[in-house]
Chains A and B, each alone.
Chain A
Amino acid sequence: MGSPPHFYKWATRSLPWLAGLAVIVFCVGLTWGIGFSPTDYKQGDVYRIIYIHVPSAILAESIYIFMAISGFISMVWRAKIAGMLINSAAPIGAGFTLVALLTGSIWGKPTWGTWWVWDARLTSTLILFFLYAAIIGLHSSIENKTKGDRAVAILAVLGVVIVPIIKKSVDWWQTLHQPSTFTLTSSPSMPPEMYLPLLVCVLGFYFLFIFMLTNSLRGEIISRERDKSWVKKQFFKY
């Protein structure tokens, strides 16, 4: 399963299905949330940016956790595919973090009255973005891919402490950002006709991530294994 040729074959076959699934769930969630869910009593229609903001923020954190787990596997078992996974996931995670920061900013202006404030939630999310950038930069600055994988794995594993900090920042400190609407201990402070489309959006974003990851992992495998015989057989019929 972990061998690159096997994974390449599996990825190529599942790619169109993943793309279709991502597009369908994504479109259903966004149309439902933006077109059909009720307006908010206080914020009006502006709250609908939640259907992009919250899924991207969830993905930003989830992808980092995913990279930390891959980093752990890469460090302990030296699995080549784990290193490739971190490398493929980092730009996607950075993208979702940027979307979360930008949509948050666009949401903040009409509701809070400011684009940006240095509170604990916003600042820790910005640090997460820098961590992604550091991982991308570190890997591309090391010529030897195997050494690069090891360096990046350390950063991915240690950096994961930022995730609980982001999550709990609104409870530990006084922030401008409101506390979580969804908690494990109590029912959501939002009616189902608002949170169901949000759930679909989150699912759609997850599928989108899996699709993007599979796609970029294919490229990563081919570029790293380009001297191997199975790649040559695949692309050059001689």
Chain B
Amino acid sequence: MHPLRKQRIYAIVTVLLGVIVALVLVMNALSKNMNLFYSPSELVSSNIAPGSIIRAGGMVASGSIQKSTDSLEVIFLITDFQNSLSVTYNGILPDLFSEDAGVVVKGFLKEDGTFLAEEVLAKHDENYMPPEVAKMLDKTE
């Protein structure tokens, strides 16, 4: 190959590597802030001040949803299977909100360690299947 072209390739690769190193450093520095939400375990270990607005996320624990009969208030537990967090929310839930499904809530921790949510977002997983297949899977379980 022509030496000039070889030199250009070296220059491009060097600069590209430099950019990659810089980005890795930036992303490492940002690491925690790149996450959209805290898991219940992270909330336990990171002692975030009550009252500051944060997002928490995890699975809605099965059998934990308690709906109030005379208002929109709903209380449920989100869990990462190690720790769990009790969440109170007053509002309309997204359609995909259900037990054993992922959820991301925005709000703040109260003094008593429970979470008051002002926004509830449903997370859906990467699995897709026709309803008949889902039913059959349920039966075999």
Contacts and interface: CB of A to CB of B under 8 A. Distances in A.
Interface of A: 38-43, 47, 50, 72, 75-77, 110-114, 117-120, 157-158, 161, 165, 172-176, 178-181, 189-191, 193-194
B128 A40 contact: yes
Contact of B130 (A39, A76, A111, A120): A39
B34 A42 contact: no
B44 interface: no
Contacts of B36: 117-120, 173-176
The majority secondary structure among interface residues of chain B is mixed
Contacts of B37: 174
A109 B34 CA distance: 22
Interface residues on B, range: 35 or more
A75 B15 CA distance: 13
Most buried by B among A38, A179, A180, A193: A38
Interface of B: 5, 8-9, 12, 15-16, 19-20, 23, 34-37, 39, 57, 93-97, 104, 119-135
A144 to B, nearest CB: 20
A174 B23 CA distance: 19
Contacts of A42: 96, 124, 134
A151 B20 CA distance: 19
A182 to B, nearest CB: 9
A173 B121 contact: no
Contact of A161 (B20, B124, B127): B20
B139 to A, nearest CB: 13
B128 A194 contact: yes
B129 A161 contact: no
A180 B125 CA distance: 9
A43 B96 contact: yes
A75 B119 CA distance: 49
A72 B34 CA distance: 31
B121 A157 contact: no
Contacts of A75: 8, 12
Contacts of A176: 36, 104, 121, 123
B126 to A, nearest CB: 4
Given A114-B121, A173-B34, A173-B36, A180 B126 contact: yes
Contacts of A110: 94-95
B15 A158 contact: yes
B31 to A, nearest CB: 8
A76 B12 CA distance: 9
Contact of B126 (A112, A113, A181): A181
6 contacts: A111-B96, A117-B104, A119-B36, A179-B125, A190-B128, A191-B133
Contact of A111 (B39, B122, B131): B122
Contacts of A179: 125-126
A111 B124 contact: yes
A175 to B, nearest CB: 5
A46 to B, nearest CB: 9
Given A39-B130, A161-B20, 4 more contacts: A157-B12, A190-B128, A191-B133, A194-B128
The 4 A-B pairs at the shortest CB distance, nearest first, are namely A113-B94, A41-B134, A38-B130, A119-B36
B23 A190 contact: no
A174 B12 contact: no
Nearest to A162: B23
A118 B33 CA distance: 11
A118 B19 CA distance: 24
